[in-house]
Each structure stands twice: as C-alpha cells, then as structure tokens.
Amino acid sequence: MIKEYLEIGEIVGTHGVRGEMRLNPWCDTPDFVSKFKTLYYDGNGSCAAQIRSARPHGNIVLLTIDGIDSVEKAQKMRGKVLYMKRSDAKLPKGSYFIAELIGCTVYDADSPERIYGTLTDVSPTGANDVWHIKAENGREYLIPAIPDVCVETNVADNRIVIRPLKGIFDDED
C-alpha cells in the first residue's frame, strides 16, 4: 500500500552545543536523508520540521531543525521519529519503499489464484534483499528478491507476484 508519509529515521542523540542532532536513518544511505528540506514529526504530515542543514556523518545524519538551537532543546528530541513525504522523494520508476511492501499479499505467477501469504519483513543481505512471507498456517518462508523470482510488484494494489525457486515451498519438487 502506498503511504504518503513514511518513517525516515530516529533522532538518537546530540552533536555539539548548538542544537545539531544525530539521526539514525532508516533508508539505504544517509545521503538520501540529506536531500530533504522538510521532514515531519508525525505520520500524517500535520507538524512540519524545516531542515536548516543535514549532512552524512558515517552511517548517521547530522541535522539542524528550525527552532532547535541549543543542546538542551536537541536533547529533548532524542527518541523522536521523523517522517518524510513520499512525493518529496525522487524515486526511479518501479522503485518502492520497504514500508510499502510490508503487508502486500504474495501470489503465484503461474497459478494466480494461489496465495503464498503476506510479506511481513525485508532483510538486506548485500547481494539482494530477502522477503519474509508468512503463510496462512503461520509458517515463514524466505524468498530472494531477485528478478528471476519477483515477477510483479504493485504496492498500489497491495500485490506481489512471484515465481519461487524450487524447494522453497513444501509442495514443490
């Protein structure tokens, strides 16, 4: 399901004495976060945070937000989750966010009436992501998110179509 506001990271601490904060990004790279001029304090976009500066620093982002100009104010932000507006992200066609994949129903490419289950998690492995699919019986299956397996991903329709590798599901030869 396409969501308009997505979690982008959590403020985990302060940096210096002038209100700069350390954000643990929940995205591919800290560079991605650095491109936003506005983030949000909530998941419905009702409370905007104007970003004065954001820069990668190792695997985190150092950022300053309008109105947060002291270490004391920044410390009060610790633990706060920030959100991004999906339309502010410039994604290539066919790209999607993990948060939009979770909850999608997974179908068989060769037998469209067959449902394998629901995508519940995504694990990055380096070479490719691994999708966690929970079947109706409660069993979890791990599917490599590679072009040979993933036939169609349509987050707008909450639908993923796969052609699993042999042996992943019990009833296959």
Side by side, which strands form the sheet with 150-154?
140-144, 129-134, 115-124, 105-108, 159-162, 150-154
Q: Which domains does the chain have, with CATH numbers?
A: 5-87 (2.40.30.60), 98-162 (2.30.30.240)
Q: pLDDT tens-digit profile of 90-140?
A: 888 777 888 889 999 999 999 989 999 999 999 988 889 999 999 999 999
- What lies within 8 Å, CB to CB, of 121 at 6+ separation is 102, 131, 132
Q: pLDDT tens-digit profile of 66-77?
A: 999 999 999 999
Q: Tell me, what's the pLDDT at 167?
A: 85
Q: Does residue 34 register a pLDDT over 60?
A: yes
Predicted model pTM: 0.77
